[in-house]
Chains A and B, each alone.
Chain A
Amino acid sequence: MSRELLAPEGLRVDGRRPPELRRLLTRVGLFAVADGSAYVELGNTKCLAAVYGPKEPRTQSAQLHDRAVINVEYNVASFSSGERKSRTRRDKRLLEIASVIKRTFEPVVMTATFPRSEIDIYIQILQLDGGALHAAINASCLAMIDAGIPMSDYVVACSAGFASGTALLDLNYIEESAETPALTVAMLPKSGKLTMLNMESRLHLDHFKDVLDLATEGCKSLAESLDEAVRKACKTPRPI
């Protein structure tokens, strides 16, 4: 590892303690044209999600007779990270993340309520500082709730990693890019079940439980914040 991610005093590169989340800022129902929308800021990672639907599918072939189809489009703004990158919409990495998010929501959304219809989730990352996937899932969850789409529970996601012998919660860009093993978890906070686990690097089995426990703790903490955001949004009138 080129750089020490945990200082001897036990602080991380951005000054957090290992089990500490970044500052969360949420806005629910900010757009009038979308059926549901939400904005999530996790530290410097900024993510916007809009939900359209349930509505008539664009193509006949895309519909299912017994339930609604969920479509996810995940976009990263070319100005979101330090170096300008213009990604095409056919970028395999973007498609893969979109597909992960789609499959995370499918078991939770009561799709059987809306046969022969579709629900579109559009995600736009505006600024990237690590944790794009869990910011996107949290923003999508708020936008789905704002759109009034029935779900059996919240879907709350959080990441955790492992560096310098310690499990770290909610990795930022520096920690993610230092080849830290990173695990992203999506959880249903009421039942405590996990709908998505995503890890693409090597981690010793002895440490895996610590990392997973920390990530689920992070999810629980985020779930309270999201619930608070939804309750607050219900009390404030929507923009016209």
Chain B
Amino acid sequence: MSGDAATGGFVLDPDTFKKIQPLEYHRRFLEQDVRADGRPLRMFRALEFRAVPNIDLPALCSPQFRPGPPGELTQSLSTFLEHIISSGHIIDLDTLCVASGRAVWVLYADIICLNYAGNVLDAAVAALMAALRNVRLPDVTVGEDADADAAPVISGKPSKPIHLSRSLVSSTFGVFDKQLLLADPTNEEEALVSSSVSVVLDDKDVVCGVFKPGGAAASKALIDECIAAARERTSRLVEALGGLGK
């Protein structure tokens, strides 16, 4: 903001001016046909494209989970999944847009663990990717100008799959006795390992997430070892499946 709030050599910085005179602050912008966040007057903010993963570890799946509200593990896994799909840019967000600025799809992914035998994150990532690959969105049209407020209408055209720009594979390792790496720990091993490291890689060897929920400190060399092992596993999987995007 170009401040002509200068009086007698005294210049008020924009943040202070905004606090003291909010109305005048915005008015100065609007006089220049622009808004405080840089948008033109009639421009809507971009609608949020979302995919919301939600993991459920019900008491049904293991004696270690109690009935009741979701525990810390459940919540941290859900958040981690949400981060890797949003920051990993898995979904081509343009395919989730129905009409720019008006209607978008929100994908909810409900993941329920039915039998907990350790390493739920790898299973959840695999299930999530498989489910995303299976999504078919109906073709939807939104009315123009006058009908803009009307509900979107499903047209008769065949439904379309969403475009996944990359596919993720999660590989989890338990660290036993602070040095021994156990790939894909079972629930018995999970109780005994000093910490666990999950490495999420895409099919082009890009690390999309690393999850080490506390536990004993691990040396950098050990983390590198995990990443190397995860990379090897991912490339073998990609090879076996002939490309994960298919």
Tell me the A residues contacting B by CB distance below 8 Å: 30-34, 48, 50, 52, 55, 58, 71, 73, 75, 77-79, 84, 86, 89, 120, 122-124, 126
Contacts and interface: CB of A to CB of B under 8 A. Distances in A.
A161 to B, nearest CB: 30
B69 A33 contact: no
A33 B110 contact: no
A123 B114 CA distance: 11
A77 B112 CA distance: 8
Contact of B59 (A31, A48, A73, A77): A73
B117 A124 contact: no
A58 B112 contact: no
Interface of B: 54, 58-63, 66-69, 108, 110, 112, 114-117, 187
Contact of B60 (A58, A86, A89, A122): A122
B115 A122 contact: no
Contacts of B60: 34, 48, 50, 73, 75, 122-124
Nearest to A72: B67
Closest 5 CB pairs of A and B: A122-B60, A31-B115, A50-B60, A73-B67, A78-B110
A233 B240 CA distance: 35
Contacts of B116: 33
A89 B114 contact: no
A32 B115 contact: yes
Q: What's the dominant secondary structure at chain B's contact region?
A: loop
B66 A58 contact: yes
27 contacts: A33-B62, A33-B116, A34-B115, A48-B60, A48-B114, A50-B60, A50-B61, A73-B58, A73-B59, A73-B60, A73-B67, A75-B58, A75-B60, A77-B110, A77-B112, A78-B54, A78-B108, A79-B110, A84-B108, A84-B110, A86-B54, A122-B58, A122-B59, A122-B67, A123-B60, A124-B114, A126-B112
Nearest to B64: A33
A222 B110 CA distance: 32
Contacts of A84: 108, 110
A90 B241 CA distance: 42
B112 A33 contact: no
A33 B187 contact: yes
A200 to B, nearest CB: 26
A84 B54 CA distance: 13
Contact of A33 (B54, B63, B66, B108): B63
B194 to A, nearest CB: 23
Contacts of B59: 73, 120, 122
Given A50-B60, A55-B63, 8 more contacts: A71-B67, A73-B59, A75-B58, A79-B110, A86-B110, A120-B59, A123-B60, A124-B114
Contacts of A77: 110, 112
B221 to A, nearest CB: 35
B110 A89 contact: no
A32 B63 CA distance: 11
A78 B58 CA distance: 13
Given A77-B112, A78-B110, A84-B108, A89 B117 contact: no
